[in-house]
Amino acid sequence: MPVTTPAPPHDAGALLAADPEIAAVLRAEGERQAGTLQLIAAENFTSPAVLAALASPLANKYAEGYPGARHHGGCEHADTVERTAIRRAKALFGAEHANVQPHSGSSAVLAAYAALLRPGDTVLAMGLPAGGHLTHGSPGNFSGRWFDFVGYGVDPDTGLIDYARVRALARGRRPKAIVCGSISYPRHPDYALFRDIADEVGAHLVVDASHPMGLIAGGAAPSPVPYADVVCATTHKVLRGPRGGMVLCRAALAGRIDRAVFPFTQGGAQMHTVAAKAVAFGEASAPAFAGYAHRVVEHARVLAAGLAAEGFRVVTGGTDTHLVVADPSPLGVGAGRARDRLAAAGLVLDTCALAHEPARTVAGGDGRGLRLGTAAVTTQGMDAADMARIAVLCGAVVRGETEPDASRVLSDVRTLAERHPPYPG
Protein backbone atom coordinates (compact mmCIF):
# COMPACT_ATOMS: atom_id res chain seq x y z
CA MET A 1 0.00 0.00 0.00
CA PRO A 2 1.23 3.55 -0.59
CA VAL A 3 2.37 5.47 2.43
CA THR A 4 -0.53 7.70 3.46
CA THR A 5 0.66 9.29 6.69
CA PRO A 6 3.27 11.97 7.18
CA ALA A 7 6.82 11.26 8.19
CA PRO A 8 7.37 11.03 11.97
CA PRO A 9 7.81 14.30 13.84
CA HIS A 10 11.34 15.32 14.67
CA ASP A 11 12.96 18.43 16.01
CA ALA A 12 14.00 19.94 12.70
CA GLY A 13 14.47 23.26 14.43
CA ALA A 14 17.08 21.80 16.76
CA LEU A 15 19.02 20.33 13.84
CA LEU A 16 18.82 23.56 11.90
CA ALA A 17 20.09 25.52 14.89
CA ALA A 18 22.85 23.04 15.77
CA ASP A 19 24.09 22.22 12.27
CA PRO A 20 22.55 24.25 9.45
CA GLU A 21 25.02 22.77 6.94
CA ILE A 22 23.81 19.19 7.48
CA ALA A 23 20.20 20.34 7.83
CA ALA A 24 20.44 21.87 4.38
CA VAL A 25 21.86 18.67 2.91
CA LEU A 26 19.08 16.57 4.44
CA ARG A 27 16.45 18.97 3.16
CA ALA A 28 17.98 18.82 -0.31
CA GLU A 29 18.01 15.02 -0.25
CA GLY A 30 14.35 14.95 0.72
CA GLU A 31 13.57 17.26 -2.18
CA ARG A 32 15.60 15.06 -4.56
CA GLN A 33 13.73 11.93 -3.53
CA ALA A 34 10.36 13.66 -3.79
CA GLY A 35 11.07 15.32 -7.13
CA THR A 36 12.55 12.40 -9.08
CA LEU A 37 11.59 8.77 -9.71
CA GLN A 38 13.58 6.22 -7.69
CA LEU A 39 14.03 3.23 -10.00
CA ILE A 40 17.09 1.72 -8.30
CA ALA A 41 16.20 -1.91 -7.62
CA ALA A 42 17.88 -1.93 -4.20
CA GLU A 43 15.99 1.09 -2.85
CA ASN A 44 12.57 1.75 -1.37
CA PHE A 45 10.75 4.11 0.96
CA THR A 46 10.33 2.92 4.53
CA SER A 47 7.13 3.65 6.41
CA PRO A 48 6.90 6.54 8.88
CA ALA A 49 6.78 3.93 11.67
CA VAL A 50 10.13 2.46 10.56
CA LEU A 51 11.64 5.95 10.43
CA ALA A 52 10.31 6.66 13.91
CA ALA A 53 11.98 3.53 15.29
CA LEU A 54 15.27 4.56 13.69
CA ALA A 55 15.06 7.92 15.46
CA SER A 56 14.13 6.35 18.81
CA PRO A 57 16.04 6.43 22.13
CA LEU A 58 17.37 2.94 21.33
CA ALA A 59 19.89 4.75 19.13
CA ASN A 60 21.65 5.56 22.41
CA LYS A 61 21.80 1.99 23.76
CA TYR A 62 24.83 -0.28 23.68
CA ALA A 63 23.75 -3.94 23.72
CA GLU A 64 26.59 -6.32 22.88
CA GLY A 65 25.52 -9.92 23.06
CA TYR A 66 22.05 -11.44 22.82
CA PRO A 67 18.82 -11.12 24.81
CA GLY A 68 19.40 -12.36 28.34
CA ALA A 69 23.17 -12.45 27.85
CA ARG A 70 24.30 -8.86 27.27
CA HIS A 71 27.67 -7.35 28.11
CA HIS A 72 26.06 -4.08 29.25
CA GLY A 73 23.43 -3.18 31.80
CA GLY A 74 20.10 -1.53 31.14
CA CYS A 75 19.19 -3.83 28.24
CA GLU A 76 15.74 -4.97 29.38
CA HIS A 77 13.94 -3.02 26.65
CA ALA A 78 16.59 -3.82 24.05
CA ASP A 79 16.05 -7.50 24.86
CA THR A 80 12.30 -7.16 24.34
CA VAL A 81 12.78 -5.42 21.01
CA GLU A 82 15.23 -8.02 19.72
CA ARG A 83 13.11 -10.95 20.86
CA THR A 84 10.14 -9.37 19.09
CA ALA A 85 12.12 -8.92 15.89
CA ILE A 86 13.32 -12.53 16.03
CA ARG A 87 9.81 -13.87 16.68
CA ARG A 88 8.33 -11.85 13.85
CA ALA A 89 11.07 -12.81 11.38
CA LYS A 90 10.70 -16.51 12.16
CA ALA A 91 6.93 -16.33 11.74
CA LEU A 92 7.08 -14.25 8.56
CA PHE A 93 9.52 -16.53 6.76
CA GLY A 94 8.79 -19.87 8.43
CA ALA A 95 12.36 -20.13 9.71
CA GLU A 96 13.62 -22.20 12.62
CA HIS A 97 16.09 -19.52 13.72
CA ALA A 98 16.68 -15.85 12.94
CA ASN A 99 19.55 -13.50 13.74
CA VAL A 100 18.50 -9.88 13.23
CA GLN A 101 21.75 -8.16 14.25
CA PRO A 102 23.75 -7.99 10.97
CA HIS A 103 24.40 -4.39 9.99
CA SER A 104 24.02 -5.11 6.26
CA GLY A 105 23.48 -7.83 3.71
CA SER A 106 27.23 -8.16 3.30
CA SER A 107 27.59 -8.59 7.07
CA ALA A 108 24.98 -11.35 6.93
CA VAL A 109 26.86 -13.17 4.16
CA LEU A 110 30.16 -12.77 6.03
CA ALA A 111 28.56 -14.37 9.08
CA ALA A 112 27.25 -17.29 7.01
CA TYR A 113 30.71 -17.94 5.58
CA ALA A 114 32.31 -17.61 9.01
CA ALA A 115 29.89 -20.16 10.42
CA LEU A 116 30.26 -22.73 7.65
CA LEU A 117 33.70 -22.30 6.06
CA ARG A 118 37.39 -21.97 6.73
CA PRO A 119 39.80 -19.77 4.75
CA GLY A 120 40.80 -21.48 1.52
CA ASP A 121 37.58 -23.50 1.15
CA THR A 122 36.07 -23.75 -2.30
CA VAL A 123 32.73 -21.99 -2.85
CA LEU A 124 30.51 -22.14 -5.94
CA ALA A 125 28.53 -18.96 -6.65
CA MET A 126 27.15 -16.95 -9.54
CA GLY A 127 30.06 -15.22 -11.26
CA LEU A 128 30.21 -11.45 -11.03
CA PRO A 129 29.86 -10.96 -14.82
CA ALA A 130 26.60 -12.92 -14.66
CA GLY A 131 25.20 -10.92 -11.75
CA GLY A 132 26.95 -12.19 -8.61
CA HIS A 133 27.36 -9.85 -5.65
CA LEU A 134 30.71 -8.57 -4.36
CA THR A 135 30.43 -11.08 -1.50
CA HIS A 136 30.21 -13.89 -4.04
CA GLY A 137 33.90 -13.87 -4.82
CA SER A 138 35.02 -10.40 -5.89
CA PRO A 139 38.83 -10.16 -5.64
CA GLY A 140 38.40 -6.80 -3.92
CA ASN A 141 36.10 -8.25 -1.27
CA PHE A 142 36.83 -10.47 1.75
CA SER A 143 35.07 -13.33 -0.04
CA GLY A 144 37.47 -13.39 -2.98
CA ARG A 145 40.51 -12.97 -0.74
CA TRP A 146 39.67 -15.62 1.84
CA PHE A 147 37.97 -18.34 -0.22
CA ASP A 148 38.45 -20.12 -3.54
CA PHE A 149 35.39 -19.03 -5.50
CA VAL A 150 34.25 -20.78 -8.66
CA GLY A 151 31.70 -18.87 -10.74
CA TYR A 152 28.73 -20.31 -12.56
CA GLY A 153 26.86 -18.36 -15.19
CA VAL A 154 23.86 -18.18 -17.46
CA ASP A 155 22.98 -19.53 -20.88
CA PRO A 156 24.23 -17.06 -23.51
CA ASP A 157 21.00 -17.24 -25.49
CA THR A 158 18.33 -17.24 -22.80
CA GLY A 159 20.11 -15.46 -19.95
CA LEU A 160 18.84 -18.16 -17.57
CA ILE A 161 20.99 -20.04 -15.06
CA ASP A 162 22.73 -22.99 -16.70
CA TYR A 163 21.92 -25.63 -14.10
CA ALA A 164 23.72 -28.38 -16.00
CA ARG A 165 26.88 -26.29 -15.78
CA VAL A 166 26.28 -25.64 -12.07
CA ARG A 167 26.07 -29.39 -11.43
CA ALA A 168 29.14 -30.10 -13.54
CA LEU A 169 31.18 -27.47 -11.67
CA ALA A 170 29.98 -28.81 -8.33
CA ARG A 171 30.98 -32.36 -9.26
CA GLY A 172 34.35 -31.22 -10.53
CA ARG A 173 35.31 -28.80 -7.74
CA ARG A 174 33.48 -30.31 -4.72
CA PRO A 175 32.76 -26.98 -3.00
CA LYS A 176 32.14 -26.71 0.72
CA ALA A 177 29.27 -24.31 -0.01
CA ILE A 178 27.08 -23.33 -2.95
CA VAL A 179 25.71 -19.80 -3.00
CA CYS A 180 22.45 -19.06 -4.79
CA GLY A 181 21.68 -15.39 -5.32
CA SER A 182 22.28 -12.41 -7.57
CA ILE A 183 21.98 -8.65 -7.76
CA SER A 184 20.53 -8.63 -11.28
CA TYR A 185 18.94 -12.00 -12.10
CA PRO A 186 15.27 -11.24 -12.84
CA ARG A 187 13.96 -14.81 -12.62
CA HIS A 188 13.23 -17.14 -9.69
CA PRO A 189 16.07 -19.58 -8.95
CA ASP A 190 15.19 -23.27 -8.67
CA TYR A 191 15.97 -23.70 -4.98
CA ALA A 192 15.02 -27.39 -4.98
CA LEU A 193 17.49 -28.08 -7.78
CA PHE A 194 20.24 -26.15 -5.99
CA ARG A 195 19.49 -28.24 -2.88
CA ASP A 196 19.79 -31.43 -4.91
CA ILE A 197 23.15 -30.35 -6.35
CA ALA A 198 24.44 -29.34 -2.91
CA ASP A 199 23.38 -32.67 -1.41
CA GLU A 200 25.06 -34.59 -4.23
CA VAL A 201 28.46 -33.07 -3.45
CA GLY A 202 28.04 -32.65 0.31
CA ALA A 203 27.95 -28.85 0.24
CA HIS A 204 26.09 -26.35 2.37
CA LEU A 205 23.48 -24.35 0.47
CA VAL A 206 23.60 -20.61 1.23
CA VAL A 207 20.91 -18.46 -0.38
CA ASP A 208 21.54 -14.74 -0.66
CA ALA A 209 17.95 -13.54 -0.94
CA SER A 210 18.62 -9.85 -0.41
CA HIS A 211 16.70 -8.80 -3.52
CA PRO A 212 13.63 -11.09 -3.43
CA MET A 213 13.16 -11.18 0.37
CA GLY A 214 10.30 -8.69 0.35
CA LEU A 215 8.58 -10.57 -2.45
CA ILE A 216 9.02 -13.79 -0.44
CA ALA A 217 7.45 -12.10 2.60
CA GLY A 218 4.46 -11.08 0.48
CA GLY A 219 4.03 -14.45 -1.19
CA ALA A 220 5.03 -13.08 -4.59
CA ALA A 221 8.17 -15.24 -4.90
CA PRO A 222 9.06 -18.78 -3.80
CA SER A 223 10.81 -19.16 -0.46
CA PRO A 224 14.30 -20.63 -0.16
CA VAL A 225 13.86 -21.33 3.56
CA PRO A 226 12.72 -24.97 3.17
CA TYR A 227 15.77 -25.76 1.00
CA ALA A 228 18.67 -23.68 2.29
CA ASP A 229 20.95 -24.32 5.23
CA VAL A 230 21.33 -20.55 5.62
CA VAL A 231 19.42 -17.64 4.08
CA CYS A 232 21.04 -14.20 4.12
CA ALA A 233 19.12 -11.05 3.30
CA THR A 234 18.83 -7.33 3.64
CA THR A 235 15.88 -5.77 5.43
CA HIS A 236 15.43 -2.88 3.02
CA LYS A 237 14.78 -3.22 -0.74
CA VAL A 238 11.31 -4.67 -1.37
CA LEU A 239 10.92 -5.61 2.32
CA ARG A 240 10.67 -1.86 2.99
CA GLY A 241 12.51 -1.90 6.30
CA PRO A 242 15.63 -0.10 7.51
CA ARG A 243 19.01 -0.58 5.88
CA GLY A 244 20.36 -3.70 7.54
CA GLY A 245 20.68 -7.46 7.30
CA MET A 246 19.49 -10.72 8.81
CA VAL A 247 20.29 -14.42 8.73
CA LEU A 248 17.78 -17.27 8.79
CA CYS A 249 18.92 -20.85 9.34
CA ARG A 250 18.06 -24.32 10.53
CA ALA A 251 17.96 -24.81 14.29
CA ALA A 252 21.02 -27.06 14.15
CA LEU A 253 23.11 -24.14 12.88
CA ALA A 254 21.70 -21.49 15.22
CA GLY A 255 24.64 -21.47 17.63
CA ARG A 256 27.22 -21.30 14.86
CA ILE A 257 25.41 -18.45 13.13
CA ASP A 258 24.94 -16.45 16.34
CA ARG A 259 28.62 -16.82 17.28
CA ALA A 260 29.62 -15.83 13.75
CA VAL A 261 27.61 -12.59 14.01
CA PHE A 262 28.72 -11.82 17.58
CA PRO A 263 31.48 -11.83 18.62
CA PHE A 264 33.25 -12.98 15.44
CA THR A 265 32.21 -10.41 12.82
CA GLN A 266 30.40 -7.66 14.75
CA GLY A 267 30.31 -5.90 18.08
CA GLY A 268 27.22 -4.26 19.52
CA ALA A 269 23.95 -4.45 17.65
CA GLN A 270 22.34 -1.24 16.43
CA MET A 271 19.26 -1.54 18.59
CA HIS A 272 17.32 1.29 16.96
CA THR A 273 17.76 -0.53 13.65
CA VAL A 274 16.71 -3.82 15.24
CA ALA A 275 13.56 -2.06 16.46
CA ALA A 276 12.93 -0.75 12.94
CA LYS A 277 13.39 -4.28 11.58
CA ALA A 278 10.76 -5.51 14.04
CA VAL A 279 8.37 -2.83 12.78
CA ALA A 280 9.03 -3.77 9.16
CA PHE A 281 8.47 -7.49 9.84
CA GLY A 282 5.18 -6.62 11.48
CA GLU A 283 4.12 -4.50 8.52
CA ALA A 284 5.14 -7.23 6.06
CA SER A 285 2.97 -9.76 7.88
CA ALA A 286 -0.19 -7.72 7.18
CA PRO A 287 -2.44 -8.72 4.23
CA ALA A 288 -1.90 -5.33 2.59
CA PHE A 289 1.80 -6.10 2.13
CA ALA A 290 1.00 -9.20 0.07
CA GLY A 291 -0.99 -7.02 -2.29
CA TYR A 292 1.91 -4.60 -2.48
CA ALA A 293 4.43 -7.35 -3.29
CA HIS A 294 2.29 -8.73 -6.11
CA ARG A 295 1.81 -5.23 -7.55
CA VAL A 296 5.58 -4.73 -7.52
CA VAL A 297 5.98 -7.80 -9.76
CA GLU A 298 3.08 -6.82 -12.01
CA HIS A 299 4.59 -3.37 -12.43
CA ALA A 300 8.03 -4.77 -13.25
CA ARG A 301 6.51 -6.92 -16.00
CA VAL A 302 4.68 -3.92 -17.46
CA LEU A 303 7.89 -1.90 -17.32
CA ALA A 304 9.87 -4.68 -19.01
CA ALA A 305 7.33 -4.99 -21.81
CA GLY A 306 7.31 -1.23 -22.28
CA LEU A 307 11.09 -1.02 -22.48
CA ALA A 308 11.14 -3.82 -25.06
CA ALA A 309 8.60 -1.90 -27.12
CA GLU A 310 10.88 1.14 -26.92
CA GLY A 311 13.76 -0.85 -28.46
CA PHE A 312 15.71 -1.97 -25.41
CA ARG A 313 16.90 -5.59 -25.22
CA VAL A 314 15.33 -6.94 -22.04
CA VAL A 315 17.49 -9.65 -20.47
CA THR A 316 15.72 -13.05 -20.23
CA GLY A 317 12.83 -11.49 -22.15
CA GLY A 318 11.11 -10.22 -19.00
CA THR A 319 11.05 -10.67 -15.25
CA ASP A 320 9.53 -12.67 -12.39
CA THR A 321 10.60 -10.18 -9.75
CA HIS A 322 10.84 -6.49 -8.94
CA LEU A 323 13.83 -5.85 -11.18
CA VAL A 324 14.34 -5.45 -14.91
CA VAL A 325 17.68 -5.59 -16.72
CA ALA A 326 17.63 -3.77 -20.05
CA ASP A 327 20.41 -3.35 -22.60
CA PRO A 328 20.22 0.08 -24.29
CA SER A 329 22.85 -0.73 -26.93
CA PRO A 330 20.24 -1.48 -29.66
CA LEU A 331 19.43 2.23 -29.38
CA GLY A 332 23.09 3.03 -30.03
CA VAL A 333 23.88 4.14 -26.49
CA GLY A 334 26.00 2.51 -23.79
CA ALA A 335 24.56 1.89 -20.34
CA GLY A 336 26.73 4.46 -18.58
CA ARG A 337 25.71 7.23 -20.93
CA ALA A 338 22.08 6.11 -20.81
CA ARG A 339 22.10 6.16 -17.00
CA ASP A 340 23.48 9.70 -16.97
CA ARG A 341 20.88 10.91 -19.48
CA LEU A 342 18.10 9.34 -17.45
CA ALA A 343 19.38 10.83 -14.20
CA ALA A 344 19.40 14.29 -15.76
CA ALA A 345 15.74 13.74 -16.63
CA GLY A 346 14.86 12.68 -13.09
CA LEU A 347 14.82 8.91 -13.76
CA VAL A 348 17.26 7.50 -11.20
CA LEU A 349 18.58 3.97 -11.77
CA ASP A 350 21.87 2.12 -11.99
CA THR A 351 23.87 -0.18 -14.25
CA CYS A 352 24.96 -3.79 -13.94
CA ALA A 353 27.07 -6.34 -15.75
CA LEU A 354 25.67 -8.14 -18.77
CA ALA A 355 26.64 -11.78 -19.10
CA HIS A 356 28.60 -12.66 -22.27
CA GLU A 357 29.27 -8.98 -23.01
CA PRO A 358 31.03 -7.11 -24.50
CA ALA A 359 31.45 -9.83 -27.14
CA ARG A 360 27.83 -9.42 -28.22
CA THR A 361 27.67 -5.68 -27.73
CA VAL A 362 26.42 -3.77 -30.74
CA ALA A 363 27.60 -0.31 -31.73
CA GLY A 364 27.25 2.11 -28.84
CA GLY A 365 27.30 -0.52 -26.10
CA ASP A 366 29.76 -0.73 -23.21
CA GLY A 367 29.11 -4.26 -21.93
CA ARG A 368 26.69 -3.19 -19.21
CA GLY A 369 22.94 -3.00 -18.84
CA LEU A 370 20.48 -0.78 -17.02
CA ARG A 371 19.01 -2.22 -13.82
CA LEU A 372 15.60 -0.88 -12.88
CA GLY A 373 13.29 -1.73 -9.98
CA THR A 374 9.64 -1.02 -9.22
CA ALA A 375 9.58 -1.30 -5.40
CA ALA A 376 9.86 2.41 -4.56
CA VAL A 377 7.46 3.73 -7.20
CA THR A 378 4.93 1.08 -6.18
CA THR A 379 5.25 2.15 -2.54
CA GLN A 380 4.36 5.66 -3.74
CA GLY A 381 1.10 4.33 -5.18
CA MET A 382 1.92 4.39 -8.89
CA ASP A 383 0.04 1.92 -11.07
CA ALA A 384 0.58 -0.14 -14.23
CA ALA A 385 -0.29 2.77 -16.49
CA ASP A 386 2.41 4.83 -14.78
CA MET A 387 4.93 2.03 -15.44
CA ALA A 388 4.06 2.03 -19.12
CA ARG A 389 4.53 5.81 -19.16
CA ILE A 390 7.91 5.51 -17.42
CA ALA A 391 9.06 3.07 -20.13
CA VAL A 392 8.11 5.57 -22.83
CA LEU A 393 9.96 8.35 -21.01
CA CYS A 394 13.05 6.13 -20.69
CA GLY A 395 12.99 5.46 -24.42
CA ALA A 396 12.72 9.14 -25.28
CA VAL A 397 15.60 10.09 -23.00
CA VAL A 398 17.98 7.31 -24.06
CA ARG A 399 17.38 7.99 -27.74
CA GLY A 400 18.61 11.51 -27.03
CA GLU A 401 15.76 13.39 -28.62
CA THR A 402 15.79 17.16 -28.94
CA GLU A 403 16.29 19.57 -26.05
CA PRO A 404 12.61 20.59 -25.97
CA ASP A 405 11.71 16.89 -25.76
CA ALA A 406 14.22 16.35 -22.94
CA SER A 407 12.74 19.26 -21.02
CA ARG A 408 9.28 17.81 -21.55
CA VAL A 409 10.43 14.48 -20.14
CA LEU A 410 11.82 16.17 -17.03
CA SER A 411 8.55 18.04 -16.64
CA ASP A 412 6.55 14.82 -17.01
CA VAL A 413 8.74 13.08 -14.43
CA ARG A 414 8.27 15.88 -11.92
CA THR A 415 4.51 15.87 -12.49
CA LEU A 416 4.37 12.12 -11.90
CA ALA A 417 6.53 12.40 -8.77
CA GLU A 418 4.46 15.26 -7.37
CA ARG A 419 1.28 13.25 -7.96
CA HIS A 420 2.70 10.43 -5.83
CA PRO A 421 4.80 11.90 -3.01
CA PRO A 422 6.67 9.30 -0.92
CA TYR A 423 5.40 10.89 2.32
CA PRO A 424 2.14 12.77 1.70
CA GLY A 425 1.58 15.61 4.11
Query: Does the annotation mark 243 as catalytic?
Result: yes
Given the DSSP bridges, would you call strands 37-38 and 347-348 parallel, antiparallel or unpaired? parallel
Sheet holding 323-327, edge to edge: 313-314, 323-327, 368-373, 350-353
Give per-residue pLDDT as tens, 404-414: 566 788 899 99
d(CA 315, CA 330): 13
Give CA–CA dist 239/150, Å, rounded. 30
Question: pLDDT by residue (tens digit) across 3-29?
Answer: 444 444 456 778 888 999 999 999 999
Residue 64 annotated as catalytic? yes
Given 43, 62, 90, 360, which residue is catalytic? Answer: 62
pLDDT at 29: 95
Q: Which of 137, 92, 124 is nearest to 286 (CA)?
A: 92
Task: Respond yes or no: is residue 90 known to be catalytic.
Answer: no
pTM of the model: 0.93
31 is a catalytic site residue: no
Query: In sequence order, what are the beta bridge partners of 232?
Result: 208, 247
> Which is the catalytic residue, given 46, 84, 234, 235?
234
Whether 235 is catalytic is no
Indicate whether 92 pLDDT > 60.
yes
Residue from 176, 240, 243, 368 carrying the catalytic annotation: 243
Identify the active-site residue in 82, 208, 310, 350. 208
209-261: per-residue pLDDT in tens?
Answer: 999 999 999 999 999 999 999 999 999 999 999 999 999 999 999 999 999 99
Does 234 participate in catalysis according to the annotation?
yes
